[in-house]
Structure 1
Amino acid sequence: MQFIATLEGFSVSSNYVSFRAEQPLKTLSSAVHNAGIGWFRAFVNRHVDMNYHCDDAKGEMAAYLEQQGFRAEETVGMMTAVSTEHVEIGQYDGDFGSVLIAVTAGVGNAVDVSQALTREEEQKIGTINTWIIVNGQLSDEAFVQTMITATEAKVKALHDEAIQDPLTGTIATGTSTDSVLIAATQQGEYLPYAGTVTPLGKLVGHGVYDCTVRALRAYKKAKGWTT
């Protein structure tokens, strides 16, 4: 019987957003814990204080996951200073299947990458963390292309929401601590590509843009920003 990842796998609290799968998913991520490529069945986006600092963040994160009831060896872990209760989650359906997307967005450390050489700033935790969970079989190319497509959608959302790099006054392209996760069931239809005009790319682009815009607006509202 084919396994399908569903929205019921998500859990949201003030401490973290998590997703648990019945079976391991093939994963590519830039997470703090278990980054890179692997097979994992649990995913955690953890809230930390904006002044969080630890000499061994990876070790501290592994210990935290175990304390929260996750098995460190089968869990991907991220950190964010944004309230995890403001996560925006959506399911986007296509002919091949569905894509689940979750975004937390905080832009206190927003950066215009084209102006990064002119900036001098201490690394801070803030972050736009993006999860993309695909019900389908992705090729290696599709994993990488999904990350590219998601990044383009995030940048467009930042542009349309007029998020500025506070040091340069120019439109930001992200934050200095953004992270992304692509996970796939590797069951169902084979999806060789995920560029912007492919069936998968179209869903990813639309979904990441939609969730990122909603997450940015939730952040603005929480901070009392006027638009």
Structure 2
Amino acid sequence: MCIKQILKKFAHPRVPAPQITLLPKWEKEEVEAVNITADMLQHRKHHIVLRSPIPLKTMSSGVVGSGLGWNQTFVNRHVDKGYSCSNHREEMMNYLREKGFDPLETVGMMTAVVLDDVSYKWMEHGGLSIFVVVTAGVGNAVDATHSESHSSEFIPGTINTWIFINAKITEEAFIQGMVTATEAKVRALEDQKVIDSVTGTYATGTSTDSILIAATQRGEQHDFAGTITALGKLISKAVYWCTRESIQKSQKRK
């Protein structure tokens, strides 16, 4: 099989200068499709983990593995509501190492939500599929339009959202997917009548929500993930459903 090379230009992460990378271009591409499904999700006592058989392109706001990258392991760790640490990122990396995870290929999040309240859903339409995982509690619900009324103290993430996309997507779609997911989350909170206890208005989230979008980068390409696109429709429906169900589970504990 003949291999050609192509040039790819990327933005440098620290300075306003391009990075040039040589990539192989196969005349005949033989890449098997890989689908992320519920079978890959493992529920442990102190964390939920998903291990992908291949590295996934990711965009996240996790404690570890934030920003753009390629990651193969995804961990949502439970911590007590009173969790306090001067360097939570370093402490999280130590936790991952102790549990046998490589921090360099892991997206790690923290949550004070009881992990039994997790909700997840696999959805497919027209050959496109996604898998969404949400842990949601609303103990520190906040209306973003009145955020100045709240303390800036760090609280472990309360609504953590994972979105795994079994397709190839653009960076534009990553960003649009986050917008679509956020809109669906806000609607779920409104429908569950979640109130910001400080302002008395409807909450739009919690003070430390976190999100992950991960794509296999295999199969059909999707350039957009806005609310009326095929991908956006799946994201909005799955995120809404999982957020609502997880909140309902959490509220039943009170």
**TM-score normalised by length of structure 2:** 0.86
Q: Which runs of 5+ in 1 are unaligned?
A: none
Offset at residue 185 of structure 1 (A): 0.1
Write the letter of the residue equivalent to 1:9. Answer: M
Tell me the equivalent position of 1:29. Answer: 60
Offset at residue 126 of structure 1 (A): 4.7
The answer to whether the Cα contact below 8 Å between 1:109 and 1:126 also exists between their aligned partners in 2 is no
The answer to whether the Cα contact below 8 Å between 2:134 and 2:243 also exists between their aligned partners in 1 is yes
Distance in 1, Cα, partners of 2:243 & 2:110: 17
SS at match of 1:18: strand
Tell me the equivalent position of 2:8. Answer: none
Query: Per chain length, whose mean CA-contact separation is higher, i.e. which structure has more relative contact order (CA < 8 Å, sep 6+)?
Result: 1
Distance in 2, Cα, partners of 1:80 & 1:174: 14
- Cα-to-partner distance string for 1:123-169 (whole Å, 9 max, x where unaligned): 32251000000000010100000000000000000000000001111
The answer to whether the Cα contact below 8 Å between 2:163 and 2:212 also exists between their aligned partners in 1 is yes
Tell me the equivalent position of 2:176. Answer: 145
SS at match of 2:253: helix
- Is residue 160 of structure 2 the alignment partner of residue 118 of structure 1? no
Quote the sequence identity (%): 48
Q: Which runs of 5+ in 2 are unaligned?
A: 1-31
Distance in 2, Cα, partners of 1:191 & 1:222: 40
Distance in 1, Cα, partners of 2:77 & 2:168: 28
SS at match of 1:148: helix
- Write 1 or 2 for the structure with the bigger share of strand: 2
Distance in 1, Cα, partners of 2:71 & 2:128: 21
- Is residue 198 of structure 2 the alignment partner of residue 161 of structure 1? no
- Write 1 or 2 for the structure with the bigger share of helix: 1
Write the letter of the residue equivalent to 1:19. Answer: L
In terms of Rg, which structure is larger? 2
SS at match of 1:152: helix
Distance in 2, Cα, partners of 1:32 & 1:92: 27
The root-mean-square deviation of aligned C-alpha atoms, in Å, is: 1.0
